[in-house]
Structure 1
Amino acid sequence: MSKPEFTLPDNESERLAALASYNLLDTLPEEDFDELTLLASQICQTPIALISLLDDKRQWFKSVVGELASQTPKEHAFCAHTIVETTEIMVVNDAREDDRFAANPLVTGDPNIVFYAGVPLINEDGFPLGSLCVIDVEPKHLTTDQIKSLKILGSQVIAQMELRKKVALLEQTNEKLLETNTFIQKFASTAAHDIKNPLSSILLTSQALQMRLKNSGDEKSSSLVGLTINASKRLLGLVDEMLNYSTEPSLLITDQKRVELNKLLKNVVELIDIPHSITVNLPRLDHSLICSSVALEQIFLNLLTNSVRYNDKDKGIVNVLFKEDDNYYNFKINDNGMGIAGHNLEKIFEKAVTLNTLDRFNKKGNGLGLHTVKLLVEKLKGSIRVESKVGEGTTFEFSIKKR
């Protein structure tokens, strides 16, 4: 017995992708869909009603009224014809007399289909995903009102599918927002409180020392202490921003403002203990960006600190480069420092992973800096990568999405 033939819809691959986006295949029965098939069965006075979805190999039934298997091969599916041949309704009054279906196993055998009427389920983008159909085991004709009602019920099936999809997307978005807010809140609150108390003590002590030096007439020493005071005030300002973000985490992403890149970089450089043997080269031209300044400061503070700490050359060089395209700001930091072994490049962004390498100050890192950098970059809808050669240096490249 030959298999019934049917034509695939145009853009079949796109149709299948659209069907998959609803995540309905092989899910459990749902009352909202079952009520619609029950109404279809009662209105059309048929023992069987189905919501049928067609993937590449089968028709699968999301909802069934009557005795029927949960799926059938696609080549046996009446609905495979429906989604190609009409945008309204396909009616087969007696399948035994229709050349398309007379030899169909579903007609010649169980469930002995004779009558079929199916409304294609066409989504908002125009893709036919399946059908709402009614079936009988004897010849039948639908009235004009029954046909109209079946079409209305088909529209309601699509409405339920779209609603279900949008609810699922909203739930996913909420989960991502919750994860983002939790991370930012913990990061900002912990870092800020750990820094603020000792930093306030440094500022007060420095101010007292500056007053004493001025009274003694030691202007040179007073000027040096002034640098410490200014740096402490900038750091306290940064900490206050971080505390604000910890109480309203979404600000880290949404509070985007115009930033002069070189000015931001100079402020960061002043916060780092850079030996005279290391030169930090900033972009030759200044650039104006619109982004989260506090996030960008934290990223650069971590990356530039590492470039300085792990530079063992007599003349250390750190270069900061910038370019932008239509969608992203792109940054590159390269140095001529110790470098990182190739097998460790993927590990360095993991939480609490250290490479047991002493920096130029004979200290080991805690493994949190680069992990935090990666998380911040990803929250800004960007990415980060690293290249390195032991003994020659390291290059970090990261991007953040434009607003």
Structure 2
Amino acid sequence: MKTQQIPEQLIPDNDTQRLKILYQYEILDTPPETDFDTIAQLAAQIFNTTDAFVTFVDKDQVFYKAKVGSLEGERIARENDLCALCISTNDVAIFHDTHQFPELLKAPYVNIKDGIRFYAAAPIKTADGFILGAVCVASEQPRQTVSDTQIEMLKLLSKVVMEKLDTRLVNRKIVRAYDDRLHRLAHDMKNPVTSISLYAQLLGTRVMDPEKIKDMSSRIEKAAKGIEKNLDQLLTNARSENSGTSLVHEQIWIGGLLDQLRQSFELTLASKNQTLIITPAIPEVAIAADEIRIMDILSNLLGNAVKYSDPGTKIYISAEVSSENQIILEFRDQGQGLTETDQEKLFIKFARLSSTPTAREKSYGLGLSIVKMLAESHKGNVWATSEGKGKGSSFFVSFPISQTGE
């Protein structure tokens, strides 16, 4: 902005979009940080002023992330703050003497004894041109001149702030990616660990014939190998910068998957006296998919049906082929059902739903978000229906059918 001019429009047309971008950086109302404090101190030294700030302009207020001088508080109403002027300009704002502008005398820190007379601010601008805030300097004495070097240094400091914000954002995404990966690993390991524990308890408390012991040992080994594969997958993903969920596609028959599912939940169902009924007429079709990941999907859906249904109830699994050549699996329970609000946020990570586990099982709020991610990675889909609370639920998952030999 040119020296000594007030923007005609203080709220830019793109303010709504600007605020969305500002909120992504999660900088508002954060505690003081050395890096930002240092930038404010450098700005004060470059201009030899008593006050300097790093600010971010929220919808109705201006947040002071860093400040040098006697300014009190961390937020000032946007309409009364000089830093808000930078939002409407792409250049440095310079006021040699604020008292020469009647509009500025309305600002509380201008129209007071020893208030702000000199003021300069460089906008903190994203690569897309959205202005988030400003690096500002102020003094109680008016200034006749400001050097080009001082202006360029103030611009440079504003760029340093923007680089700092971008770095924080990238680091936060990396941390969350690893956090998500660990959450997913912990959730994927929960079912096999539970199975191992239950089988071990049975082996230690009952006298069994050798054939039964051999069968349980085989199931324990299979569950342990599932845990090992999940750990190997985590290590493989960690070696890749852009790691996601690596999939190994192979031909998998739906009937075989459901047989595995029934076996793996045998003890869990028995512990709640629940009955699993799989429709006999399961279509003889195959899908091209990662068997471990598909079993994760099915285990999550059946596990939820068990967890949120009362003891003694029945759970049904059925399958049909759609007109779009997809296999659709339905998991229907006699549990607590879903409200309309529940259905809106079912697949959101850590969302709080109205249902609670019926036997004090643990719930981490991750299962359905994992199901959605894995289903979509197989070009499938997942959804749910319910007639309301107390009327049970049906969860559906679909996958494209592959031609044998594909």
User: 1:319 matched to which residue of 2?
Assistant: 318
Q: In 2, distance between residues paired with 1:260 and 1:305?
A: 28
Q: In 2, distance between residues paired with 1:271 and 1:72?
A: 59
User: 1:32 matched to which residue of 2?
Assistant: 35
Letter in 1 for 2:234: S
1:265 equivalent in alignment to 2:246: no
The verdict on how the C-alpha distance between 1:394 and 1:283 changes in structure 2, with shifts beyond 3 A counting, is farther
Matched residue SS, 2:12: coil
1:2-401 mapped onto 2 (5 Å cutoff): 6-70=9-73, 71-85=75-89, 87-140=90-143, 141-192=145-196, 194-195=198-199, 205=211, 238-245=222-229, 247-248=231-232, 250=234, 254-260=245-251, 263-269=253-259, 272=262, 279-283=279-283, 286-290=286-290, 292-296=293-297, 298-299=299-300, 319-321=318-320, 331-333=328-330, 339-340=334-335, 342=337, 350-351=356-357, 353-354=358-359, 376-382=367-373, 385=384, 387=386, 395-398=394-397
Q: Does structure 2 retain, via aligned residues, the 8 Å contact 1:184–1:249?
A: no
Letter in 1 for 2:146: L
User: How much does 1:128 deviate?
Assistant: 0.8
User: How much does 1:129 deviate?
Assistant: 0.9
Equivalent pairs: percent with the same residue? 21
User: How much does 1:131 deviate?
Assistant: 0.5
Q: In 1, distance between residues paired with 2:42 and 2:233?
A: 48
User: How much does 1:19 deviate?
Assistant: 1.9
Q: In 2, distance between residues paired with 1:45 and 1:304?
A: 68
| Root mean square deviation, CA, Å | 4.7
Q: In 1, distance between residues paired with 2:79 and 2:261?
A: 70
Letter in 2 for 1:115: F
Matched residue SS, 1:150: helix
Letter in 2 for 1:387: S
Letter in 1 for 2:70: E
User: How much does 1:120 deviate?
Assistant: 0.4
User: 1:363 matched to which residue of 2?
Assistant: none
Q: In 2, distance between residues paired with 1:42 and 1:284?
A: 77
Q: In 2, distance between residues paired with 1:158 and 1:394?
A: 48
User: How much does 1:20 deviate?
Assistant: 2.1
Q: Does structure 2 retain, via aligned residues, the 8 Å contact 1:192–1:242?
A: no
CA shift digits 1:246-284 (9 cap, x unpaired) = 6547389835222545x1433433774999x97423247
Q: In 1, distance between residues paired with 2:52 and 2:39?
A: 9
Q: Does structure 1 retain, via aligned residues, the 8 Å contact 2:255–2:284?
A: no
User: How much does 1:93 deviate?
Assistant: 1.3
The verdict on how the C-alpha distance between 1:77 and 1:323 changes in structure 2, with shifts beyond 3 A counting, is farther
Structure 1: stretches of 5+ with no match in the other structure = 208-228, 355-365
Q: In 2, distance between residues paired with 1:77 and 1:323?
A: 61
Q: Does structure 2 retain, via aligned residues, the 8 Å contact 1:386–1:394?
A: yes
Matched residue SS, 2:104: coil
Letter in 1 for 2:135: L
Q: Does structure 2 retain, via aligned residues, the 8 Å contact 1:280–1:318?
A: no
CA shift digits 1:224-250 (9 cap, x unpaired) = xxxxx9x98995774353242465473
Q: Does structure 1 retain, via aligned residues, the 8 Å contact 2:56–2:64?
A: yes
The verdict on how the C-alpha distance between 1:324 and 1:131 changes in structure 2, with shifts beyond 3 A counting, is farther
Q: In 1, distance between residues paired with 2:115 and 2:182?
A: 53
The verdict on how the C-alpha distance between 1:152 and 1:330 changes in structure 2, with shifts beyond 3 A counting, is farther
User: 1:219 matched to which residue of 2?
Assistant: none
Q: In 1, distance between residues paired with 2:110 and 2:224?
A: 75
Matched residue SS, 1:257: coil
Q: In 2, distance between residues paired with 1:21 and 1:285?
A: 45
User: How much does 1:63 deviate?
Assistant: 1.0
The verdict on how the C-alpha distance between 1:279 and 1:178 changes in structure 2, with shifts beyond 3 A counting, is closer
Paired residues in the alignment total 347
Q: In 1, distance between residues paired with 2:303 and 2:163?
A: 50
Q: In 2, distance between residues paired with 1:78 and 1:296?
A: 55
Q: Which one has a bigger Cα radius of gyration?
A: 1
User: How much does 1:48 deviate?
Assistant: 1.1
Matched residue SS, 1:250: helix
Letter in 2 for 1:250: L
Please, what TM-score do these two structures have when normalized by structure 2?
0.67
